Amino acid sequence: MKSLIYSDWVRHLKILLAGTALSLSVMGAGTSEVWANSSNQKIKQTIETLQQSDQRWIQIDLAKQRLIAWEGGKPVYAILISSGKKSTPTRIGKFKIQSKHKSTRMRGRDYDVPNVPYAMFYQGNYGIHGAYWHRKFGTPVSHGCVNIAPDHAKWLFNWASVGTPVVISKTLK
């Protein structure tokens, strides 16, 4: 069994109490690696459950820059995406489509894009949408959203409904 305690998680504290030095070692209860493994396990379990259903769902693999639309265990559509850059990453996890907009304006600190086609938001301002302003699909270039070509965005928009599960991970195994 792999140890959950790593040397970089041990912190040494010296406290002075009534003229007596007290030395403590504090160890974290877990590590980011353990959390990541737990998160990956939950995502893997979600994928297995969805594949055993007849439900429509969307799987996004950030490592491969791919989106797959599924009906249960059957892939029905697969396309290249552009996810978030290193400085503005796409969030990993399990989500559901919360709202859909045939066209919307997207604004951020360093961008203002009108008429963004076929936007489906799954967490706050994070969404899957058409991107007419670039053709770099297969490369992370966005501000955190999942960019797809407008014709693919239209197909996905018409196929998915509010509530459709979206599973985003870095690798699929």
> Is residue 32 helix, strand or coil?
helix
- Helices marked H in the chain — which ranges? 32-51, 150-159
Contacts of 144 (CB under 8 A, 6+ apart): 83, 84, 88, 89, 90, 91, 125, 126
Instruction: Say what the pLDDT of residue 20 is.
Output: 53
Question: Tokens 């239209």, residue?
Answer: 154
- Does the domain spanning 7-169 belong to CATH 2.40.440.10? yes
> 38-65: b or e for each residue (b if 16 or more CB lie within 10 Å)?
eeeeebeebbeebeeeeebbbbbbbeeb
Q: If pLDDT is split at 50, 70 and 90, which confidence band does 36 have?
A: low
Longest CA–CA span in the chain (Å) reads 73
> Is residue 131 helix, strand or coil?
coil
129 assigned to active site: yes
Q: If pLDDT is split at 50, 70 and 90, which confidence band does 7 have?
A: very low
> Is residue 153 helix, strand or coil?
helix
pLDDT at 5 over 80: no
* Contact of 123 with 98, CB cutoff 8 Å: yes
pTM of the predicted model as reported, rounded to 2 decimal places? 0.77
pLDDT at 34 over 50: no
Rounded average pLDDT over 72-91: 97
145 assigned to active site: yes
**Which residue among 129, 134, 143, 152 is the active-site one?**
129
Instruction: Say what the pLDDT of residue 127 is.
Output: 98
* Contact of 62 with 68, CB cutoff 8 Å: no
pLDDT at 2 over 50: no
**Which residue among 12, 101, 134, 145 is the active-site one?**
145
- Mean per-residue pLDDT over the chain, rounded: 85
Domain residue limits, the chain: 7-169
pLDDT digits over 94-127, tens only?
999 999 999 999 998 889 999 999 999 999 999 9
